[in-house]
Amino acid sequence: MRARTPYTPWCVTLAVATTLVVGACSPPASTSGGGSTSGAGAASATSAKDLGGMDKLVAAAKKEGTLNVIALPPDWANYGAIIKAFGDKYGIKVNSAQPDASSADEISAAQRLKGQPGAPDVFDLGTSVASANTTMFAPYKVATFDSIPATLKDANGTWVNDYGGYMSVGYDSSKVPAPTSLADLLKPAYKGKVALNGDPTKAGAAFAGVQMASLANGGTAGDVTKGVDFFKQLKAAGNFLPVDPTPATIVSGQTPVVMDWDYLNAAQSSKVKTWKVFVPQNAVLGGYYVQAISKDAPHPAAARLWQEFLYSDDGQNLWLKGGARPVRFDAMKTAGTLDQTAAAALPQVSGTPTIPTQADSDKAKAYLAANWANAVG
């Protein structure tokens, strides 16, 4: 016993040091087999032509056999059906990770898992997260690239808008009267019933909700002072419900009025028959999400094939069936390939839609960061 004594502190140090080393090291980055052999060409391909045509791309993707997607909730813009359709059509297994993650989570997952076979292959991002991380994307032009409006894509295909919609008010017509304007929501009939999809300093949809309220009250998408004032009034009237609406809160009746993208609100109608969607006339705020391929995609060919699928007529119509407006909406309408039934089911919108610019968003963010918490906290 005695003889060992002087070494005891060393043992402690050694043990701690060992634990530190083990704890600090992440698992060794393994090189993905698919990426290094068949994918060598796919990883740098900027169109299907680079690989020798669509058939070669399909063959390369099938060889990889897997696609990793992240943050795609099945009830969001019909992603559940899209993932299934893609898997069935090409026989590729789609790993859908963290369906409820945020856009920021997608980027951090890609950085954290870089070089590992489980890293995300493709991203579906909010515009601000996308524009801050363009260096992580691989440019790629899908076959239908030319029919996408120039304002809704990067000229090199580094990022492309995928689907969009308008900010809307969803409400349970069996619980509240139908609103005819946003100002109606201040009335006593909506006491404790109006929810916003998230905190606007965190969630993109809620952020757009404040911009919509700003437009409705004579403000702009950049200067959201009037929008924040509206929510302040809503809170003062006791109408603002500080609960994050989810399909569960909507079905259970906890959130009878929800401000959210029209395609998300529309999706609730299938579960709650009395759920209606209303887009305020004087405050039509549009927004698109962004699709991009990860530069470090472990399955580069499958990632590119996924894009081809999403921007094909089939893929675009699947988004439309989910109530979202696909980016090739107008081109497909002209070509007659648009799903007419699904298009007719979209909520009625009148007036010119406002699509906020980057400058608008930056200005609005700065104001919200300083003022939102005090308005509703």
Partner 1 sequence: MADRPARRALGGRRPSGALLGVVPFFAYVAVFLIIPTLVVVIGAFVGGKGGFTLSNLRALGQPAVTTALWHSVVLSAVTALAGAVIGALLAYAVSTGRPGGVLKKFITSLCGVLAQFGGVALAFAFLATFSATGYLTKVLTSAGLDSSGGLWLYEWDKGLMLVYLYFQIPLMLIVFLPAVEGLKPQWREATETLGGSTFLYWRKVAAPILMPSFIGGLLLLFTNAFSAYATAAALVSQGSPLLPLEIGGTFTSEVILGQENVGKAMALEMVVVVAVVMTAYVILDRRASRWLVR
> Does the footprint of partner 1 cover residue 254 (CB under 8 A)?
yes
* Other CB atoms within 10 Å distance of the CB of residue 140: 26
CA distance 171 to 268: 10
Sole window of 49-57, 159-167, 190-198, 218-226 interacting with partner 1 (rule: CB under 8 A): 190-198
SS3 240: strand
Ranges within 9-38 binding partner 1 (CB under 8 A): 11-12, 15-16, 19-20, 23-24
- Closest listed residue to residue 35, CA positions, set 98, 114, 108: 114
Tokens 């524009």 correspond to 131
Beta strands, E only, the chain: 66-70, 93-97, 122-125, 137-138, 160-172, 194-196, 257-261, 275-278, 286-294, 325-326
* Other CB atoms within 10 Å distance of the CB of residue 100: 10
* Residue selected from 201, 233, 269, 312 as contacting partner 1 according to rule CB under 8 A: 201
- Closest listed residue to residue 231, CA positions, set 211, 247, 255: 211
* Residue selected from 34, 139, 200, 300 as contacting partner 1 according to rule CB under 8 A: 200
Query: Please, are residues 136 and 294 in contact by the beta-carbon 8 Å criterion?
Result: yes
* Residue selected from 2, 26, 344, 350 as contacting partner 1 according to rule CB under 8 A: 2
- Smallest distance, partner 1 to C-beta of residue 240, A: 8
Q: Closer to partner 1 by CB, 4 or 273: give it.
A: 4
> Does the footprint of partner 1 cover residue 129 (CB under 8 A)?
yes
> Does the footprint of partner 1 cover residue 126 (CB under 8 A)?
yes
- Smallest distance, partner 1 to C-beta of residue 20, A: 6
> Does the footprint of partner 1 cover residue 46 (CB under 8 A)?
no
> Does the footprint of partner 1 cover residue 359 (CB under 8 A)?
no
* Residue selected from 80, 192, 222, 353 as contacting partner 1 according to rule CB under 8 A: 192
* Other CB atoms within 10 Å distance of the CB of residue 16: 10
Q: Which residues here bind partner 1, judged by CB under 8 A?
A: 1-2, 4-6, 8, 11-12, 15-16, 19-20, 23-24, 102-105, 126, 128-129, 132, 191-193, 196, 198-204, 207, 238, 240-244, 252-254, 365, 368-370, 372-377
